[in-house]
């Protein structure tokens, strides 16, 4: 079972019910559970949708999956007069390497996700929500299924919810079956429709044409779970917890070479340096920091000198990287960046769905070229070639997987070029662990 961690610098909103047995619906209710959705319903059928969307807008909440799109704005894009059914789709297909926050969220507070899904549904006028977890999270699906069944038993889901005539909302839960690509919203819809998880071209955006052709709001599980807290405390109060244009708190998963890895809830804008050195207890074994991948594997690396930056979407963008999914991966001085870059691209090569040629071919050639450099058979022009390939993948694919593979590659090659050149000259930095025994180019994967 994942260990729960805490630190005095945390600002607790989402973690409020963690470790308290809130998977049980009665315990959840005792801890203000389902009070937010009742508060929304109490606004009356006329005012309720606008009240929900306006509160979410005022909260400054931005998508926790990685894109950082303002949630309230996204909900407001759903056409009010749609003749087609509208849907809410909760993305719990957490797959970005370095990211395990939704894992803890489903484990500790599944009702918050359920209540958030209902709130999104009431906000956009939908009667059906889906909660989609990654296939590996079967034990978490069981927890969520049990929670959904308990909500039905209380009359919180189904027909005439909370005893309000004509107010219906259903939730369907399921998992995927192993595919990183399905975390991308349009591929997620394909998967939920029982197809291969390949992306759809945008526009139209899901808010207009989504699941089964109906307007669909798709949000990350953590984003959805924030909604009940926001409705209870008020949008502006939530916004105040964070930084400018970055409302609230978020769950950061700090992993890799730190003393106390774990999922911590920190205010948006919190210092990356403090997150590593104070919250997570500093570098493991007193070693020196070499680099940080700050928001999941797809985010460009920061060097040890670049960590005086605030953890919000805008400050991270200004620093040339991304806040991403909040997965902070810490690399100490022993890490071989060439090996780390190879392992990263090997993942994206494996996960590229093959739909767009720049991504399918680009990830494969970058992987093969980096493997050659790693094994000692590389040339200087291989490094230029890797950079050239990555630059030409950027912005040329249906979905962001191509960018997700290209961006970290560019970061590694540009910021640690010397290390790649050293490999070409037979000098291997760090203490790499992968050998040819480890199937460097993923042939058997």
Partner 1 sequence: MSTIANTIFSPELAARFDHLVTIYPVKRSALIPMLLYAQDEIGYVSEAAIQEIAARLDLFDLEVRSVLSYYSMLRTKPAGKYNVQVCTNISCMLRGGYEILDHCKAKLGIGHKQVTADGVFSLEEVECIGACCWAPAMQVNYDFHEDLTTVKVDEILAQYRSGAKETI
Residues that bind partner 1 (CB under 8 A): 1-3, 85, 94-100, 102-103, 128, 134-139, 142, 172, 174-180, 191-197, 211-212, 253-257, 261-263, 293, 297, 327, 329-331, 335, 340, 343-344, 347, 350-351, 353, 433-434, 437-439, 444-445
Cα–Cα distance between 396 and 383 in angstroms, integer?
A: 21
Q: Would you say 48 or 224 has its CB closer to partner 1? A: 224
**Helix or strand or coil: residue 165?**
coil
Smallest separation (angstroms) from partner 1 to the CB of 344 = 6
Pair 251, 101: CB distance under 8 Å: yes
* Closest approach of partner 1 to the CB of residue 317, in Å: 22
CB of 171 to partner 1, least distance (A): 10
Closer residue to partner 1 in complex, CB, 239/329: 329
To partner 1, the closest distance from the beta carbon of 72 in angstroms equals 26
Whole-number Å distance between alpha carbons of 210 and 89: 10
* For partner 1, the closer CB: 54 or 278: 278
Query: How many CB atoms lie under 10 A from the CB of residue 207?
Result: 20
d(CA 281, CA 239): 28
Nearest in space to 413 (alpha carbons), one of 329, 295, 300: 300
Q: How far is the CB of 166 from partner 1 (least distance, A)?
A: 20
Kindly state the tokens that stand for 407: 């961006």
DSSP string, 267-302: ETT-BHHHIIIIIT-SBGGG--EEEEEBTBTTSPPE
Contact 340, 412 (CB under 8 A): yes
Nearer to partner 1, 1 or 44 (CB): 1
Q: How many CA atoms lie within 13 A of 307 on its CB side?
A: 21
Please, which residue, 52 or 94, has the CB nearer to partner 1?
94
> Which of 215, 122, 233, 127 minimizes the C-alpha distance to 171?
127
Q: Kindly tell me which of 231 and 332 has the beta carbon lying closer to partner 1.
A: 332
Would you say 111 or 134 has its CB closer to partner 1?
134
- Residues 6 or more apart whose Cβ sits within 8 Å of residue 81: none
Smallest gap from Cβ 81 to partner 1, in A, equals: 20
Coil, strand or helix at 310:
strand
* Structural contact between residues 415 and 320, judged by C-beta atoms closer than 8 angstroms: no
In the bound state with partner 1, the residue whose beta carbon lies nearer, of 167 and 434, is 434
Give the residue carrying structure tokens 């939730």: 171
166 Cβ contact list (under 8 Å, min separation 6): 160
Shortest spacing between CB 13 and partner 1, in angstroms: 19
Write down the least CB distance from residue 337 to partner 1, Å. Answer: 12
Distance CA 321, CA 126 (A): 36
Contact 244, 250 (CB under 8 A): no
> In angstroms, what is the minimal distance from the CB of 103 to partner 1?
5
Please report how close the Cβ of residue 414 comes to partner 1 at its closest, in angstroms. 19
Alpha-carbon distance 128 to 118, whole Å? 9
Give 340 or 420: the residue with its C-beta nearer to partner 1. Answer: 340
Q: Is the dihedral of CA 387, 312, 278, 263 positive or negative?
A: negative
| Residue (17 or 86) nearer to partner 1, CB | 86
């Amino acid at each position: 079972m994942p260990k729960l961690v805490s630190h005095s610098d945390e600002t607790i909103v989402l973690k409020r019910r963690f470790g308290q047995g809130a998977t049980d619906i009665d315990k959840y209710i005792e801890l203000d559970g389902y009070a937010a959705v009742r508060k929304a319903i109490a606004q009356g059928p006329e005012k309720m949708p606008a009240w929900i969307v306006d509160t979410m807008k005022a909260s400054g909440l931005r998508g926790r999956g990685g894109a950082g799109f303002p949630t309230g704005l996204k909900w407001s894009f759903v056409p009010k007069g749609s003749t087609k059914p509208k849907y809410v789709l909760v993305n719990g297909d957490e797959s970005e390497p370095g990211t395990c926050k939704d894992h803890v969220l489903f484990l500790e507070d599944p009702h918050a996700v359920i209540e958030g899904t209902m709130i999104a549904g009431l906000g956009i006028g939908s009667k059906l929500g889906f909660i989609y977890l990654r296939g590996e999270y079967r034990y978490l699906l069981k927890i969520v299924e049990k929670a959904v069944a308990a909500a039905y038993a209380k009359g919180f889901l189904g027909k005439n919810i909370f005893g309000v005539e004509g107010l219906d909302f259903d939730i369907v839960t399921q998992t995927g079956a192993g595919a990183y690509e399905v975390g991308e919203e349009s591929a997620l819809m394909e998967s939920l429709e029982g197809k291969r998880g390949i992306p759809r071209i945008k526009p139209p955006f899901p808010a207009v044409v989504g699941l089964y052709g109906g307007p669909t709001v798709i949000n990350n599980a953590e984003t959805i779970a924030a909604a009940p807290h926001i409705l209870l405390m008020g949008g502006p109060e939530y916004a105040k917890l964070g930084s400018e244009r970055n409302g609230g708190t978020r769950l950061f998963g700090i992993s890799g070479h730190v003393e106390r890895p774990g999922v911590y809830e920190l205010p948006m804008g919190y210092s990356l340096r403090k997150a590593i050195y104070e919250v997570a207890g500093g570098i493991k074994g007193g070693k020196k920091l070499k680099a940080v991948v700050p928001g999941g594997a797809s985010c460009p690396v920061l060097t040890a000198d670049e960590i005086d930056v605030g953890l919000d979407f805008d400050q991270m963008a200004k620093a040339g990287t991304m806040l991403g999914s909040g997965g902070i991966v810490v690399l100490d001085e022993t890490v071989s960046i060439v090996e780390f870059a190879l392992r990263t691209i090997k993942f994206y090569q494996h996960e590229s769905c093959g739909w767009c040629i720049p991504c399918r071919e680009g990830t494969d050639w970058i992987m093969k070229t980096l493997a050659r450099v790693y094994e000692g058979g590389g040339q200087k022009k291989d490094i230029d070639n890797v950079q050239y390939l990555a630059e030409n993948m950027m912005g040329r694919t249906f979905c962001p997987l191509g960018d997700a593979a290209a961006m970290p590659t560019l970061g590694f090659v540009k910021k640690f070029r010397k290390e790649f050149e050293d490999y070409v000259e037979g000098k291997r930095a760090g203490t790499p662990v992968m050998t040819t025994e480890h199937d460097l180019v993923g042939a058997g994967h």
